[in-house]
Amino acid sequence: MSDRTALIQDFVSKTVWKDWQKVAVPGDASARRYWRLTDGTQTVILMDDAPELGGSTVPFANIAQLLLANGLCAPHILAHDPHNGLMIVSDLGTQDVAAWLRQHPTQEKALYRTSVDVLVKLHHIPPPDNMERMTAQTGAEMLEIVGEFYSRANVADLQREMLVALNAHAPIADTIALRDFHAENLIWRDAHEGLDCVGLLDFQDAFVAPAGYDLVSLLRDARRDVAPETVEAMIAYFGEQTGAGPDFRTQLACIAIQRNLRILGIFGRLSLKLGKPRYLDLIPRVWSDIQSDLADPALHQLRQVIFDTVPEPTTTLLAGLKP
């Protein structure tokens, strides 16, 4: 038995769930691990975010409390050992939005509208003063990973042009962004009503970003194709509900490009460093979304720099990213 396994067992043994069955739950792209604990009728979730691997359960707990205090559906913290990165939280459900839509594809627009209602609510929550902000400078710096794990080249020119674009089109970080707001991270709770239909997960890296960051995370989803009519309807709806100005679509395009360029690097790193080549299969969709957003005429300079510095994901390039 490893020291970590013993630590987890000791943590659970001191709770009311000590005799419940433990079943592994598929994790995300991080080193975090999850188990569903059950007595046959009730369930809770055990989270392991080991500090020795750079993890911490504290941000998750803090953001969960913020979301719950504002009427959103996040897990309740039932037991917490922040020193050792262990936590037991309420179980929001087993079926995410993506899985639900595979069975009920005609409901896409309805589910996405409810998800956007969550984003509208988030848009109106004042960000905590101590929350990290994605300034234009930060957004540009975040693209270092593209050169390191995707293009294998110097991306200084790309970073400079992204800084110019963000300063011009998305200069104000004033909205809480959960960062990984996409269909596989949203639990669909069909028996509930309103905002409680959408269970929120994987928000420990939340920061303050320009308005629309989570909207493009939802609509420019690396893991599934969203119908163009749904994309257009959700952008229009979010804009109406938040009073977005006439340049909002360019702001969205700019943010989406920044985010998806970074994802190219993240997926390359997951393959090369963590031995998860399945993420390479998602890169062509990410690249296609980047091309779509680069069609905005206001981003023509950024488009040229990307064409000059970020290669297309050819079969040869993707083969070179395999572990």
Q: What is the CATH number of domain 3-90?
A: 3.30.200.20
Q: Which residues of the chain are in CATH 3.30.200.20 domains? A: 3-90
Q: Are 293 and 287 in contact (CB under 8 A)?
A: no
| CATH 3.40.50.970 for the 97-319 domain, yes or no | no
Give phi and psi for 321, each to the nearest 5. -100, 0
Enter the pTM of the model: 0.94
209, with CB counted inside 10 A (0-12, 13-18, 19+), is: buried
Measured CA to CA, the distance from residue 189 to residue 168 in angstroms comes to: 39
Tell me how far apart the alpha carbons of residues 321 and 276 are, in angstroms, rounded to a whole number. Answer: 10
How distant, in Å, are the alpha carbons of 94, 287, 307 from that of 163?
40, 20, 17
Domain with CATH 3.90.1200.10 in the chain: 97-319
- The tens-digit pLDDT sequence of the chain (323 residues) is 578 999 999 999 999 999 999 999 986 667 789 999 999 999 999 999 999 988 999 999 999 999 999 999 999 999 999 999 999 999 999 999 999 999 999 999 999 999 999 999 999 999 999 999 999 999 999 999 999 999 999 999 999 999 999 999 999 999 999 999 999 999 999 999 999 999 999 999 999 999 999 999 999 999 999 999 999 999 999 999 999 999 999 999 999 999 999 999 999 999 999 999 999 999 999 999 999 999 999 999 999 999 999 999 999 999 999 99
d(CA 222, CA 246): 27
